[in-house]
């Protein structure tokens, strides 16, 4: 029956199937693999020249999209002002440090108790090597970057359905599945099943390649051997005082165990285009990017400005706002034009007079749910005990991921790791529904099933659920193929004197690169419109 459903499955149907079962972000990854989505379209610095004298632009939101627009428009000669809901810049480009206070919708103010120098990035946290626009601005603004380690063969893959519930090193699963597949291919090749597709000479070379690639023995079988240990590594750690221990490779996992447990599924996370090395992070926290922009445009920002209404006529755009911390008094800010970067979940609740097509687009895009939890420990046990220096461990437990810090390797003292990162699905909604302190408690309980040291070494933690974020009501625009086809162009067009920018108005959703590219595209088109007028 399942095979019958696959008959005639073309690329478009395949993408729709992936989108329905795994969400639009997974669909975007698949589109990239199939060549249907390209990498960053950044082509170098934009050149906006000849701005009409005294022309003003009102920017709503001081996230990366808003600050990119402000930086470039002021440099071109425009009079710029920014309204920002928070008391800081950056939007989702945000780092929580010790001493910071966070408040979700309907929740109490929670104080982060991390020690000095320790932090967690609740939003974006890594930069792919091909996000050229963001990297260019980091260079231009002096943001120091360091490598972010996504793949660490010594990290864990964990499933409650296999391996006795014990975490398996990434390299174990990688080696074992490669070995089993190689053995199967060798059997097919030796039985002549490839006759007509591969020449006899090529078959011989294929067998030799598979034997080497899959660590097979002289009979083309994958089984415990010295050769396997060269890939799988040893069970016994090479530690001082234990050099006399003869290392063993451990018993390889069977193919049925790997497939049945689902351990293989998370290997794809390391192969995706966005996650291929090299990735980067700012040294000291992701918010250093926003702070670098702020040095250029901070004098343009009005903070704690909660926009409640946006009006436009043939000559002006006016935004009505109140103090987000002391609401009551309504104030106004106007500009000849407006670049609006307010998340669509918020914008859809604001009275704004734009066309019916743009209004429909604003209301058509839901936002992904995501939760992150940072945990502080007394010592960096993942390095000292488990020899894991950076990288990500994956699990089918509700926490989904554990990411180890890619900085301060092999240092004494405390450390913070990302103990939970969910993206859409039941786990994300489950954690969102919990009180912040309950999330931390649950994450420690789940994490102890992978790292038993949690119970002894844990000190404190902080969490953030993006659907309870008062300034976004969600993590990122969650487009589908259908909604993008129907609404994307209407969302991005210049509507009267208003143009929308942000990751939600880009072809690279949920990434900082999308915010910057969208902003550059929007202000380039806006400048052309102004000059033509």
The CATH number given to whatever domain includes residue 402 is 3.90.660.10
> Residue 38 pLDDT > 60, yes or no?
no
Same domain, 359 and 377: no
Query: Are 359 and 485 found together in one domain?
Result: yes
Rounded distance between C-alpha atoms, residue 428 and residue 212, angstroms: 42
Residues 438 and 403 occupy one common structural domain: yes
| Residues 230 and 178 both lie in one domain | yes
**244 and 342: one domain?**
no
CA–CA gap between residue 482 and residue 365 (Å, rounded): 11
The residue segments making up the domain with residue 19 are 2-33
22 domain residue, yes or no: yes
For residue 482, what pLDDT band results from cuts at 50, 70 and 90? Answer: very high
Whole-prediction pTM: 0.89
Q: How far apart are CA 473 and CA 86, in angstroms?
A: 14
For residues 281 and 394, state if they share a domain.
Answer: yes
- For residues 158 and 264, the answer to whether their CB atoms sit within 8 Å is no
Question: Does residue 407 sit within a domain?
Answer: yes
* 157-171 per-position pLDDT tens digit: 999 998 788 999 999
Asked if the model's pLDDT at residue 464 lies above 90, the reply is yes
C-alpha to C-alpha distance for 317 and 55, rounded to whole angstroms: 12
pLDDT higher than threshold 50 for residue 104 = yes
| pLDDT of the residue at 31 | 40
274 or 102: which leads in pLDDT: 102
* Spatial separation of the C-alpha atoms in residues 23 and 469, rounded to whole Å: 21
Q: Are residues 208 and 69 in the same domain?
A: no
Domain assignment present for residue 291? The answer is no
Average pLDDT, the chain: 89
CATH number at residue 335: 3.50.50.60
Residue 41 falls inside a structural domain: no
46 lies in a domain?
no
64 within domain boundaries:
yes
Bridge pairing between strands 317-323 and 331-335: antiparallel
Kindly tell me if the per-residue pLDDT of 518 is higher than 70.
Answer: yes
Q: Quick one: which of 117, 110, 123, 154 has its CA closest to 416?
A: 117
How many angstroms from the chain centroid is the CA of residue 488?
A: 21
Residue 451 lies in a domain: yes
Q: Is the domain of 486 the same as that of 357?
A: yes
Query: What Å distances lie between residue 322 and 120, 175, 326, 467, CA to CA?
Result: 30, 59, 8, 23
**Residues 448 and 496 occupy one common structural domain:** no
Say if CB 123 and CB 93 are below 8 A apart: yes
Residues 129, 464, 158, CA angle at the centre, nearest 5°?
65
CATH number of 244's domain: 1.20.1440.240
CB contact at 8 A, 430 and 443:
no
Per-residue pLDDT tens over the stretch 343-387: 999 999 999 999 999 999 999 999 999 999 999 999 999 999 999
Same structural domain, 324 and 414: no
8-state DSSP, 90: B
What residue has token string 């007509």? 196
Q: Are residues 27 and 77 in the same domain?
A: no
- Residue 39 covered by a domain: no
Residues 281 and 395 in one domain: yes
Per-residue pLDDT tens over the stretch 176-211: 999 999 999 999 988 888 777 778 888 889 999 999
Number of domains into which the chain is organized: 4
- Does the structure show a pLDDT above 70 at 6? no
């Amino acid at each position: 029956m399942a095979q019958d459903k696959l008959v005639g499955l073309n690329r478009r149907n395949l993408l729709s199937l992936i989108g329905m079962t795994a969400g639009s972000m997974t669909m975007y990854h698949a589109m990239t693999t199939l060549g249907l989505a390209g990498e960053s379209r950044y082509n170098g610095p934009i050149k906006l020249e000849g701005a009409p004298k005294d022309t003003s632009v009102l920017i709503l939101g001081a996230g990366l999209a808003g600050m990119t627009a402000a930086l470039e428009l002021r440099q071109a000669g425009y009079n710029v002002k920014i309204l920002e809901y928070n008391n800081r810049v950056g939007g989702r480009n945000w780092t929580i440090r010790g001493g910071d206070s966070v408040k979700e919708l309907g929740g109490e103010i929670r104080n982060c108790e991390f020690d000095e120098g320790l932090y967690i990035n609740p939003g974006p946290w890594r930069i792919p090597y091909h996000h050229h626009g963001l990297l260019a601005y980091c260079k231009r603004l002096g943001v120091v970057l360091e490598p972010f380690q996504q793949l660490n063969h010594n990290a864990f893959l964990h499933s409650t359905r296999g391996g006795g519930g014990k975490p398996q090193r990434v390299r174990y699963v990688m080696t074992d599945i490669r070995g089993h597949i190689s053995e199967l291919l060798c059997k097919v090749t030796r039985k002549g099943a490839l006759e007509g597709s591969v020449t006899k000479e090529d078959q011989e070379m294929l067998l030799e390649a598979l034997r080497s690639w899959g660590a097979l023995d002289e009979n083309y079988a994958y089984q415990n051997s010295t050769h396997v240990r060269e890939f799988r590594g040893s069970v016994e750690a090479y530690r001082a005082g234990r050099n006399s221990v003869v290392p063993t490779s451990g018993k390889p996992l069977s193919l049925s165990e790997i497939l049945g447990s689902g351990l293989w599924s998370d290997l794809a996370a390391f192969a995706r285009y966005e996650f291929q090395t090299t990735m980067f992070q700012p040294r000291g926290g992701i918010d250093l990017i926003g702070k670098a922009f702020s040095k250029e445009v901070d004098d343009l920002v009005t903070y704690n400005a909660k926009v409640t209404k946006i009006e436009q006529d043939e000559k002006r755009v006016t935004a009505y706002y109140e103090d987000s911390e002391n609401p009551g008094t309504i104030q106004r800010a106007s500009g000849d034009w407006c670049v609006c970067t307010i998340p669509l979940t918020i914008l859809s609740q604001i009275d704004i007079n734009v066309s019916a097509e743009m209004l429909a687009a604003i209301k058509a895009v839901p936002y992904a749910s995501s939760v992150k939890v940072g945990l502080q420990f007394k010592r960096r046990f993942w390095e000292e005990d488990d020899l894991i220096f950076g990288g990500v461990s994956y699990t089918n437990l509700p926490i989904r991921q554990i990411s180890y810090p890619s900085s301060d390797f092999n240092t004494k003292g405390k450390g913070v790791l990302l103990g939970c990162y969910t993206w859409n699905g039941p786990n994300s909604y489950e954690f969102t529904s919990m009180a912040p302190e309950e999330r931390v408690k649950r994450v420690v309980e789940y994490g102890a099933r992978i790292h038993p040291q949690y119970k002894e070494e844990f000190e404190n933690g902080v969490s953030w659920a993006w659907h309870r974020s008062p300034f976004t009501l969600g993590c990122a625009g969650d487009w589908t193929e259908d909604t993008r086809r129907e609404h994307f162009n209407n969302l991005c067009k210049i509507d009267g004197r208003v143009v929308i920018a942000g990751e939600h108005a880009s072809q690279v959703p949920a990434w900082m690169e999308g915010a910057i590219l969208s902003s550059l595209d929007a202000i380039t088109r806006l400048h052309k419109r102004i000059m033509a007028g």
